[in-house]
């Protein structure tokens, strides 16, 4: 099932970069599961380095395809703003990260930044996140700092609730 979503993501990515935003993505999928989880769409260069990411921890669309398309459109707009052209995009890889339920963690030893994402919830309700990062050798404290930065949270101010994020990652193969 996830391979069809990767194919859909590539088709939409190429079309969005060429200015075609009115594509009916639902028609190319045989099944249309309801969105029950968050999704992140990432763009990697040909060396595997992260270029851009867009997504959410929780569903924002009715179907999974709609969820992917919504985040992919944002990612493509960011890519265009950075000057990425369709010819360069062919050398990039797309990644879909499907988010499971968040599990609250009691102590930092429960988290592995290489395999688990992290969500940080401040007392005032702001929520930050960091996806797993096997390549960067992040420590748990660095992952917390990254999640806090994304939400504008001072990691030293107030009590933070921490949640692990389990992710099912699907990486597009280079042609």
Report d(CA 8, CA 25) in Å as an integer: 7
Query: What is the CATH class of 2-97?
Result: alpha beta
Q: Sketch the domain layout of the chain as residue ranges.
A: 2-97, 102-166
**Model confidence pLDDT, tens digit, residues 66-113:** 888 889 888 888 888 988 877 887 788 999 988 877 889 988 888 888
Q: Which of 6, 33, 13, 48 is nearest to 168 (CA)?
A: 6
CATH number of the 102-166 domain: 3.30.1490.150
Domain 2-97 matches domain 102-166 at the CATH topology level: yes
Under 8 Å CB-to-CB from 92, ≥6 apart: which residues? 43, 44, 45, 46, 51, 84
- pTM exceeding the 0.85 threshold for the entire prediction: no
Q: What is the pLDDT of residues 126-158, one digit of tens each?
A: 989 888 876 667 788 888 898 899 889 988 877
């Amino acid at each position: 099932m996830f391979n069809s979503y990767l194919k859909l993501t590539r088709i939409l990515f190429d079309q969005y970069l060429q200015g075609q935003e009115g594509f009916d993505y639902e028609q190319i999928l045989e099944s249309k599961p309801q969105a029950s989880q968050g999704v992140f769409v990432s763009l990697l260069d040909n060396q595997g380095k992260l270029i851009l990411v867009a997504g959410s921890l929780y569903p924002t669309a009715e179907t999974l395809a709609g969820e992917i398309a919504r985040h992919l459109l944002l990612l493509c707009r960011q890519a265009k703003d950075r000057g990425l052209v369709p010819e360069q995009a062919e050398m990039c890889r797309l990644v879909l990260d499907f988010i499971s339920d968040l599990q609250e963690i009691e102590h930092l030893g429960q988290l592995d930044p290489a395999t688990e994402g992290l969500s940080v919830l401040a007392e005032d309700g702001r929520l930050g996140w960091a996806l797993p990062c096997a390549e960067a050798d992040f420590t748990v404290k660095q992952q917390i700092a990254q999640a806090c930065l994304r939400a504008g949270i001072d990691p030293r101010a107030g009590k933070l609730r921490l949640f692990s994020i389990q992710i099912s990652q699907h990486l597009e193969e280079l042609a």
